[in-house]
């Protein structure tokens, strides 16, 4: 393909929020210092001695407490959204402890222009871009919004909030969520309404919204398809997918004192987050051959975003207060590791599941039929809006998914000419009825009926015509033509965004100049220091260097202690999980011991094998149970198909009304013996009729 993948690293930026009123009132101090010029963040431990140096991490960008939403958009999100408009996949993750500004960064305050977050600003950006595109570009924009809570996927735009969706995979289109709604939008206001609807649904069923949002992952996905005429004269479709992900809080669960059911939930929620961590570890390890994407819903759905076909940014949100030191440190470390992930993004050109092409075909077909109507009754059978991956294109603003179909009474369609003919006939008949007063009664009745018939026919034809035209208009409305201004209310937002992008550029130029001047000064200083003019100066110079090296040693020691402490905390967390799982396991074992004799447990254990592909235990001879077993014994032993690795055909599980049991169908003395032994163990139910 003439479309090679760009190899680039996941960009990682850090954003530290300001101390809030409660923290200020409680006298908390900031433990974090941000150097946005250098892109670094320094963290000082509240318990450390004054001599202990702070820990410093460097990222692609670092934003301090007074960073503006527009700056975040322009520096972090804008490049990604531009890429998506070009047909790349893009992902922006917000990672961090609860209360550090993930939702503020992703969504912000949607009613205040300067406080809008990445999602609403991306709406203004996308439609602003379309408005400026050439008129021969056609766009189809659709959004979906889902939540992962407790390893269950919920469609936040779906009709039923109690429904749980399945994550599926197909070789041609990859991983997708079955039956997830997708809403076609054609202006920024539509997107805003959809976001409101999704957020309302997020709180459905949540007893405590704060707790719910801190434990769930929300993924807002915008798919942009664009079609343009290529150099080859053909129309080509490019598809970019933008995932905007507000992750669950990264804080350790032990801190929240979860127990029982809540601990179980926490373990499950951690499953997605901890799998995310494991995926990152495997990706940056270099030696790992297996990346555990399949181990959680989040990593399965976003497997392209990490190490795959996507341009990805991670925004690590952190709180500044000293009491958050541990969590902030852990967030910075996490973010620091993510920097090394390599992705290879490529433009998605002419994918099989492009809806735009399907819609355009349908539009052409409808237009053709409108022009040459009259060739009999009919409705479009193509069901506008059905996407192969299981998604549906829905009417915007909460309409029912899929194209609406009209039911009974399909009228005959007439061409415009035929309609005019009928109309003329109708007029003539009407005139005759009025003018020829002396007409025979029978003739008058016949004419009257004819007039009524024609009136009916005409009305029906008109309705059919209107239906087709309406359907066409509906489809055409979904496709946005480049150069058409659809910003409406968000025009102001787009203007503000662009203004701040220009301002940013000016600032960056100035900063760059300053930085260069600073570097030159620093180089000069070092140069002077290096040329010692006397022994005395040499001693001073070397002492300085020694101090520097000493400082580095201290930093390294601190780092080591920290890593040890972090590892210890992680170990304790894992041990706690192990204790919980052991207790669960004992309960399961107790249940099993009650119903399955030990001998058969051993047998099942012997023949069970672990299937790494699907992550499940399987009985190797499962094909030789139930009806399959009957079939194979009916045909006689010599006709049997090739034997499985182990012949378990004489063992089968039965479920009698009074409880499950294991049965043995005696075939030989050996088997009879086995049966007698099993009876001695716990008298299993003997099944007379084979299952």
Residues that bind ligand ADP (CB under 6 A): 17-18, 20, 96, 98-104, 214, 249, 317
**Minimum CB distance to Mg ion, residue 213 (Å):** 5
Q: Which two structure tokens, joined as six digits, stand for 646? A: 């182990």
**Closer of 85 and 266 to ligand ADP (Cβ):** 266
**Minimum CB distance to ligand ADP, residue 106 (Å):** 8
Contact 436, 415 (CB under 8 A): no
Contact 603, 650 (CB under 8 A): no
**Closer of 102 and 217 to Mg ion (Cβ):** 102
Contact 222, 122 (CB under 8 A): yes
Residue 517 C-beta-side C-alpha neighbours within 13 Å: 6
Candidates 559, 611, 664, 1; CA nearest to 333 is 559
Determine if 216 is a binding residue for Mg ion (CB under 5 A).
Answer: no
Q: What angle do CA 326, 77, 320 make, to 5 degrees?
A: 25
Candidates 193, 168, 171; CA nearest to 180 is 168
Residue 516: CB atoms within 10 Å: 10
**Closer of 102 and 243 to ligand ADP (Cβ):** 102
Task: Round to the nearest angstrom and report the end-to-end CA distance of the chain.
Answer: 55
**Closer of 96 and 307 to ligand ADP (Cβ):** 96
**Minimum CB distance to ligand ADP, residue 74 (Å):** 15
Residue 520: CB atoms within 10 Å: 10
Distance in angstroms (rounded) separating the CA atoms of residues 164 and 162? 7
Quick one: what does residue 389 bind among Mg ion, ligand ADP, none, with the CB cut-off 5 to 8 Å set by partner type? none
Quick one: what does residue 96 bind among Mg ion, ligand ADP, none, with the CB cut-off 5 to 8 Å set by partner type? ligand ADP
Quick one: what does residue 307 bind among Mg ion, ligand ADP, none, with the CB cut-off 5 to 8 Å set by partner type? none
19-27, 96-104, 526-534, 661-669 -> range binding Mg ion (CB under 5 A): 96-104
**Closer of 102 and 300 to ligand ADP (Cβ):** 102
Q: Which two structure tokens, joined as six digits, stand for 279? A: 């995926």
Quick one: what does residue 580 bind among Mg ion, ligand ADP, none, with the CB cut-off 5 to 8 Å set by partner type? none
Contact 470, 404 (CB under 8 A): no
**Closer of 20 and 460 to ligand ADP (Cβ):** 20
Contact 389, 181 (CB under 8 A): no
Quick one: what does residue 18 bind among Mg ion, ligand ADP, none, with the CB cut-off 5 to 8 Å set by partner type? ligand ADP
**Minimum CB distance to ligand ADP, residue 72 (Å):** 8
Quick one: what does residue 129 bind among Mg ion, ligand ADP, none, with the CB cut-off 5 to 8 Å set by partner type? none
**Closer of 251 and 396 to ligand ADP (Cβ):** 251
**Closer of 102 and 142 to Mg ion (Cβ):** 102
Nearest residue relative to Mg ion (C-beta): 103
**Minimum CB distance to ligand ADP, residue 337 (Å):** 20
Quick one: what does residue 331 bind among Mg ion, ligand ADP, none, with the CB cut-off 5 to 8 Å set by partner type? none
Count of residues that bind Mg ion according to CB under 5 A: 3
**Closer of 96 and 240 to ligand ADP (Cβ):** 96
**Closer of 18 and 402 to ligand ADP (Cβ):** 18
Contact 324, 33 (CB under 8 A): no
What number of H helices and E strands is found in the chain? 18, 22
Element spanning 95, H or E: strand 90-96
Quick one: what does residue 270 bind among Mg ion, ligand ADP, none, with the CB cut-off 5 to 8 Å set by partner type? none
Determine if 103 is a binding residue for Mg ion (CB under 5 A).
Answer: yes
In 3-40, which positions are buried (b, 16+ CB within 10 angstroms) versus exposed (e)? Answer: eeeeeeebbbbbbbbebeeebeeeebebbbbbebeebe
**Closer of 102 and 357 to Mg ion (Cβ):** 102
Quick one: what does residue 104 bind among ligand ADP, Mg ion, none, with the CB cut-off 5 to 8 Å set by partner type? ligand ADP
Nearest residue relative to ligand ADP (C-beta): 101
Contacts for 444 with CB less than 8 Å, ≥ 6 apart: 433
**Closer of 104 and 624 to ligand ADP (Cβ):** 104
99-107, 155-163, 225-233, 528-536 -> range binding Mg ion (CB under 5 A): 99-107
Q: What are phi and psi of 424, to 5 degrees?
A: -65, -45
Distance in angstroms (rounded) separating the CA atoms of residues 691 and 685? 13
**Minimum CB distance to Mg ion, residue 218 (Å):** 8
**Minimum CB distance to ligand ADP, residue 101 (Å):** 3
**Minimum CB distance to Mg ion, residue 210 (Å):** 8
Q: Which residue has the tokens 């009613």?
A: 111
**Minimum CB distance to ligand ADP, residue 214 (Å):** 6
80-88, 98-106, 316-324, 441-449 -> range binding Mg ion (CB under 5 A): 98-106
Quick one: what does residue 158 bind among Mg ion, ligand ADP, none, with the CB cut-off 5 to 8 Å set by partner type? none
Quick one: what does residue 90 bind among Mg ion, ligand ADP, none, with the CB cut-off 5 to 8 Å set by partner type? none
94-102, 111-119, 431-439, 446-454 -> range binding Mg ion (CB under 5 A): 94-102
Distance in angstroms (rounded) separating the CA atoms of residues 106 and 242? 13
**Closer of 187 and 331 to Mg ion (Cβ):** 331
Residue 671: CB atoms within 10 Å: 14
**Minimum CB distance to ligand ADP, residue 117 (Å):** 9
Residue 93 bridge partners (DSSP): 245, 314
Q: What distances in angstroms separate CA 16 from CA 66, 120, 121, 233, 674, one per listed residue?
A: 9, 21, 20, 50, 69
Q: What distances in angstroms separate CA 254 from CA 31, 251, 263, 269, 656, one per listed residue?
A: 23, 9, 9, 13, 44
Question: What is the β-pairing status of strands 138-149 and 480-481?
Answer: antiparallel
Q: Which two structure tokens, joined as six digits, stand for 656? A: 């009698």
Which residues form the interface with Mg ion (CB under 5 A)?
102-103, 213
């Amino acid at each position: 393909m003439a479309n090679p993948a760009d190899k680039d690293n996941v960009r990682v930026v850090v954003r530290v929020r300001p101390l809030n009123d409660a923290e200020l009132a409680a006298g908390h101090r900031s433990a974090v210092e941000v150097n946005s010029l250098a892109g670094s963040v320094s963290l000082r431990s509240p318990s450390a001695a004054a001599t202990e140096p702070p820990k410093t991490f460097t990222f692609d960008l670092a934003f301090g407490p007074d960073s503006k939403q527009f700056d975040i958009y322009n520096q972090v999100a804008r490049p990604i959204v531009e890429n998506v408009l070009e047909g790349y996949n893009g992902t922006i993750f917000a990672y961090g402890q609860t209360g550090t500004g993930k939702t503020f960064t992703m969504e912000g305050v949607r009613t205040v222009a300067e406080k809008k977050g990445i999602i609403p600003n991306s709406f203004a950006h996308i439609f602003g871009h379309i408005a400026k595109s050439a008129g021969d570009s056609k766009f189809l924009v659709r959004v979906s919004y889902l939540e992962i809570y407790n390893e269950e996927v919920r469609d936040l735009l779906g009709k039923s909030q109690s429904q749980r969706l399945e994550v599926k995979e197909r070789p041609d289109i990859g991983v997708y969520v079955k039956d997830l709604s997708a809403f076609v939008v054609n202006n920024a206001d539509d997107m805003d309404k959809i976001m409101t609807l999704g957020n309302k649904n997020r709180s459905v069923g949540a007893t405590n919204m704060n707790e719910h949002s801190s434990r769930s992952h929300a993924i807002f996905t915008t798919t942009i398809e664009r079609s343009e005429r290529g150099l080859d004269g053909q129309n080509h479709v490019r598809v970019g997918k933008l995932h905007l992900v507000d992750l669950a809080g990264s804080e350790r669960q032990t801190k929240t004192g979860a127990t029982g059911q809540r601990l179980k939930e926490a373990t499950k929620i951690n499953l997605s987050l901890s799998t995310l961590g494991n995926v990152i570890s495997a990706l940056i390890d270099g030696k790992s051959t297996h990346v555990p994407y399949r181990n959680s819903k989040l990593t399965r759905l976003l497997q392209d975003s990490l190490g795959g076909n996507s341009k990805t940014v991670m925004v690590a949100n952190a709180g500044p207060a000293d009491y958050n030191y541990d969590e902030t440190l852990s967030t910075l470390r996490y973010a620091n590791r993510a920097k090394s992930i390599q992705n290879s993004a490529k433009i998605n050109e002419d994918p099989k599941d492009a809806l735009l092409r399907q819609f355009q075909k349908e539009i052409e077909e409808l237009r053709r039929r409108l022009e040459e109507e009259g060739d009999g009754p009919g409705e479009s059978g193509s069901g506008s809006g059905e996407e192969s991956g299981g998604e549906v294109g829905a009417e915007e603003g909460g309409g029912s998914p899929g194209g609406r179909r009209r039911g009974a009474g399909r009228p005959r369609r007439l061409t415009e000419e035929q309609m005019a003919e009928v109309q003329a006939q109708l007029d003539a008949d009407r005139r005759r009825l009025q003018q020829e007063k002396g007409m025979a009664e029978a003739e008058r009745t016949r004419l009257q009926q004819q007039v009524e018939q024609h009136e009916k026919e005409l009305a029906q034809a008109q309705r059919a015509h209107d239906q087709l035209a309406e359907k066409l208009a509906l489809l055409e409305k979904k496709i946005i033509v480049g150069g058409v201004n659809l910003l409406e209310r968000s025009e102001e937002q787009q203007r503000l965004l662009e203004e701040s992008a220009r301002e940013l550029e000016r600032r960056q130029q100035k900063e760059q100049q300053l930085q260069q001047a600073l570097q030159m000064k620093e180089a000069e200083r070092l140069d002077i220091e290096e040329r010692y003019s006397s022994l005395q100066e040499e001693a001073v110079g070397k002492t300085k260097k020694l101090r520097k090296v000493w400082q580095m040693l201290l930093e390294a020691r601190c780092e080591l202690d920290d890593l040890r402490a972090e590892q210890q905390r992680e170990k304790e967390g894992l041990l706690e999980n192990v204790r919980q799982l052991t207790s669960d396991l004992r309960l399961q074992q107790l249940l099993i011991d009650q119903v399955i004799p030990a001998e058969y447990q051993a047998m099942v254990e012997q023949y069970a094998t672990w299937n790494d592909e699907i992550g499940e235990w399987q009985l190797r001879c499962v094909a030789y149970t139930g009806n399959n077993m009957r079939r194979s014994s009916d045909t006689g032993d010599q006709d049997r198909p090739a034997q499985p690795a182990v012949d378990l055909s004489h063992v089968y599980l039965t479920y009698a009304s009074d409880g499950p049991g294991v049965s043995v169908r005696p075939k030989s003395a050996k088997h009879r013996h086995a049966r007698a032994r099993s009876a001695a163990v716990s008298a299993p139910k003997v099944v007379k009729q084979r299952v």
